[in-house]
Structure 1
Amino acid sequence: MTLDFLLHLLPHTFVLLWAVAPTLYYVHAQECDLSKGEWVVDDPYYPLYDASRDCPFIVQGFNCLRNGRPDQDYLKYRWKPFACDLPRFDGVKFLETYRGKKIMFVGDSISDNMWQSLACLLHIAVPESNYTFTRLTKHLSIFRFLAYEVSIVWVKDGYLVDTVRDREKGRIIKLDSVSSRYKWNGDVLIFNTYHWWFHTGETPIHFQVGNEIMKDMDNTEAYKTGLTTWSNWIDSNIDPSKTTVIFQGIAAAHSGEKHCLEQTKPEEGPKPTYPGVDIVQNVLSNMKSHVYWLDITLQTQLRIDGHPSVFTGRGTSYEDCSHWCLAGAPDTWNEMLYAVLLGNRYYYHL
């Protein structure tokens, strides 16, 4: 009689499991942290494009193969999160989803790295589709897919707060002012700021709060103040029902004691917390607006092999361990972007 009773319940049990399984999977996938993982070889799927053949518009400094880089293993790596897989980038689906829309990157040359990568990934998906590629000024570049009316824009802005030039003091960063940001508009806004805050050079940098101008302010404290000012501007000026806001995380540089020269393999984790990450976490978590955080720090800490190094086209006396080869690591950032925008079960955010 017990066996008959269990057999009677069996169909109902399957129905129950079928009903809850999608929900269980959804919850599990929502908890996937894309920032924690490892680099694995994925040949022949990677690289996702041939920089010289498929993307003739990549700037010289990012096209490492054209500049003579002899090794190619760095092109074969895919980022594998521990708890899930990144969805494959589907450029046609991306363009169809954002038909008639504008996607704007705002930040320094690391944003340029990611912007050019996205333009490549979309271009190779529709290679016969007409496009325009225009660098209107040194601060504004636009890639437009005419058939889809999709614009991919990069606005060069290394600090995300106002700056002025003074003949005596040099550059003054106004930490509490975002008055000139009327050009920040689009259906998706992807912001980045970090590296310029910690550059050292011959030109002095001063920081200003209110009417007070300071030369000896700690750069880390200045970064926190400036990023907080940006976050307040976003909370006050961006309608989250109309615009998706993303913060492109801190990409690790490898200048210093261990340079990236002749590095051909990724390193292995874990790695110590990178400077500035805690500031980004704190600022984003205290915002009223929902801002997605593309946390790319660990994966870039591991990719000491992914920089142009001396293969920038500027000669062997110049070594670049801050920017990234294309094809390369920035393609993964855009796979993460794709997961956030089109594969919403995969993203991780604060």
Structure 2
Amino acid sequence: MLHRWQKKRTHFPLIIALVLCIFLVCSILLTERSIQQIYGEDHRHTSLKQASLLKSTVLANSTFPSTSPVVLDRFTTCRSTVKYNGRKPGWMVTPKSLDPHGSDGSCDVFSGKWIFDNISYPLYNEQDCPYMSDQLACHKHGRSDLRYQHWRWQPHGCSLKKWNVIEMWEKLRGKRLMFVGDSLNRGQWISMVCLLQSVIPEDKRSMSPNAHLTIFRAEEYNATVEFLWAPLLVDSNSDDPVNHRLNERIMRPDSVLRHAALWEHADILVFNSYLWWRQGPVKLLWADQANGVCEEIDGLGGMELAMEAWANWVASNVKPLKKRVFFVTMSPTHLWNREWEEPGSEEGNCYDENIPIRDSLYWGSGSDLPTMQMVERVLSLLGSMVSVVNITQLSEYRKDGHPSVYRKFWEKLSSEQLRNPASYSDCIHWCLPGVPDVWNELLFHLL
């Protein structure tokens, strides 16, 4: 009995193991087939969806390189520099047939004259805006003649929509308004914040610290008014909002990746770019250029490449019914008073100027016509996808609106400069309240 039992014990586990193996194999086959039947379409759909998503991402970001290049910063240098060889990005936007100004032709709000109005203007008081910049607070820094605050822009043959802070907040409810550009666009952003902040309780508003992206938030309206520092629009070594005064300016003419990652989610975008391109040649470092060899190009040529890269992003990513895009034209400078004074006048600039220019045909050398023509050509490719805020001519008249010497200067002024105020006058930026408030009234009108 013992031997028989031992024999049976020897074969019984083998039979069980064989049955289990057959069962497992069948189960695996059946399970795999069931999975294919149940999820096969979903997997196929997911794969197609992923492929489609990848394709749309590549198309949508056609201004971006296929591989992420090294981020440019203020420590970036060129290993060597050669002359620009004429290369262009391998994509171009398709021209649109619609009017780039988005105008119905009934009124040109950009053509008009300045009317002195000390009843309705200024729209806010400098001292009542806690977000005012020392670079723009002219009264605080000693300017006693306040006539620059009391000018109203009057278009020919029609009227500009009257500023209404509550109506503007309703336009912004649940939205992100973002200004993108240089210090002039930052001045327009500060103007907008000062125009809007007074009706928001102090405990319901906040301002993030100054950074690449600075955000003013209003809780009641679930809205933000933001500023993104991007002086060249494309990625560059000048993208630090503080440390950007560099001897050598290097840009990627085929990439807006760094900035677009922040601006792409805004509902209303207000771009500008101009003065940084008038400071001499720039260096081009293409995204696929890994050996540090830069190409040198003049400012206008560099700006054209940057504008085309920006335009391609707009054309690929902006749905006009969901996102509004504005481009603010060049802000003029008033560096040489010989352009508006009678011949023989003492050489100077905007220093001590206190009334606008009356000549309706005035056009100073601070506004470069070839640049405007290039910008107009690029914007015309985008049609109604971009609304133009043409501030140039109306701002040309305002030689009185600059800070001049009435601002904070972070660098120490020499005794020679102090003896000659015109030598260090700021004839580029604008006092607030002042001209940029009208730029924002135009924006309000167009919205």
Q: TM-score, normalised by structure 1?
A: 0.82
Letter in 2 for 1:213: C
| 2:277 aligned with 1:197 | yes
In structure 2, the residue matched to 1:260 is 350
Unaligned runs of 5+ in 2: 1-102, 239-245, 338-347
Letter in 2 for 1:284: L
| 2:236 aligned with 1:236 | no
Structure 1 residues 286-319: Cα deviation after superposition (integer angstroms, max 9, x where no partner): 1256100000001111101000000012265632
In structure 2, the residue matched to 1:51 is 126
Q: Is the 8 A contact 1:90 1:125 kept in 2?
A: no
| 2:285 aligned with 1:183 | no
CA–CA distance in structure 2, aligned partners of residues 122 and 164 of structure 1: 33
Query: Which of 28-37 and 185-194 deviates more?
Result: 28-37
Letter in 2 for 1:182: A
CA–CA distance in structure 2, aligned partners of residues 29 and 41 of structure 1: 29
CA–CA distance in structure 2, aligned partners of residues 125 and 82 of structure 1: 32
CA distance 1:75–1:164, change in 2 (3 Å)? closer
Letter in 2 for 1:245: V
Letter in 1 for 2:432: L
| 2:117 aligned with 1:42 | yes
In structure 2, the residue matched to 1:17 is none
CA–CA distance in structure 2, aligned partners of residues 225 and 256 of structure 1: 30
Name the SS of the counterpart of 1:305 in structure 2.
coil
Letter in 1 for 2:382: M
CA distance 1:320–1:255, change in 2 (3 Å)? same
CA–CA distance in structure 2, aligned partners of residues 170 and 218 of structure 1: 13
In structure 2, the residue matched to 1:284 is 379
Name the SS of the counterpart of 2:257 in structure 1.
coil
Structure 1 residues 45-97: Cα deviation after superposition (integer angstroms, max 9, x where no partner): 11111111x20210111000000101111111001111211111111111123
4+ residue runs of structure 1 moved beyond 6 angstroms? none
Q: Is the 8 A contact 1:259 1:321 kept in 2?
A: yes
Q: Is the 8 A contact 2:336 2:350 kept in 1?
A: no
What aligned pairs does 1:137-156 form with structure 2 within 5 A after superposition? 137=211, 139-156=212-229
CA–CA distance in structure 1, aligned partners of residues 247 and 333 of structure 2: 28
Letter in 1 for 2:284: F
| 2:91 aligned with 1:91 | no
Find 1:270's aligned residue among 355, 358, 361. Answer: 361
CA distance 1:170–1:221, change in 2 (3 Å)? closer
Find 2:154's aligned residue among 80, 85, 97. Answer: 80
More strand by share: 1
How far the C-alpha of 1:326 sits from its partner, in A, is: 0.5
Find 2:283's aligned residue among 196, 206, 210. Answer: 206
In structure 2, the residue matched to 1:100 is 174
CA–CA distance in structure 2, aligned partners of residues 92 and 147 of structure 1: 12
Letter in 2 for 1:206: K
How far the C-alpha of 1:182 sits from its partner, in A, is: 0.8
In structure 2, the residue matched to 1:120 is 194
CA–CA distance in structure 2, aligned partners of residues 88 and 169 of structure 1: 44
How far the C-alpha of 1:256 sits from its partner, in A, is: 4.0
Name the SS of the counterpart of 1:225 in structure 2.
helix
CA–CA distance in structure 1, aligned partners of residues 129 and 441 of structure 2: 17
CA distance 1:213–1:311, change in 2 (3 Å)? same
CA–CA distance in structure 2, aligned partners of residues 311 and 112 of structure 1: 18
Unaligned runs of 5+ in 1: 1-27, 342-350
CA–CA distance in structure 2, aligned partners of residues 97 and 244 of structure 1: 12
In structure 1, the residue matched to 2:433 is 327
Find 1:226's aligned residue among 291, 297, 306. Answer: 306
In structure 2, the residue matched to 1:302 is 397
Q: Is the 8 A contact 2:335 2:427 kept in 1?
A: yes
CA–CA distance in structure 1, aligned partners of residues 307 and 167 of structure 2: 33
Structure 1 residues 192-225: Cα deviation after superposition (integer angstroms, max 9, x where no partner): 111111125xxx741345647222x221122122
**What is the identity percentage for the equivalent residue pairs of Structure 1 and Structure 2?**
34
Q: Is the 8 A contact 2:253 2:302 kept in 1?
A: yes
| C-alpha RMSD of matched pairs (Å) | 2.2
Letter in 1 for 2:113: E
CA–CA distance in structure 1, aligned partners of residues 303 and 210 of structure 2: 29
Letter in 2 for 1:173: M
CA–CA distance in structure 2, aligned partners of residues 169 and 302 of structure 1: 32
Matched positions, count: 306
Query: Which of 63-72 and 257-266 deviates more?
Result: 257-266
CA–CA distance in structure 1, aligned partners of residues 186 and 373 of structure 2: 24
In structure 2, the residue matched to 1:131 is 205
Structure 1 residues 21-47: Cα deviation after superposition (integer angstroms, max 9, x where no partner): xxxxxxx97421111111111121111
How far the C-alpha of 1:255 sits from its partner, in A, is: 2.2
Q: Is the 8 A contact 1:129 1:145 kept in 2?
A: no
CA–CA distance in structure 2, aligned partners of residues 74 and 97 of structure 1: 29
Letter in 1 for 2:180: V
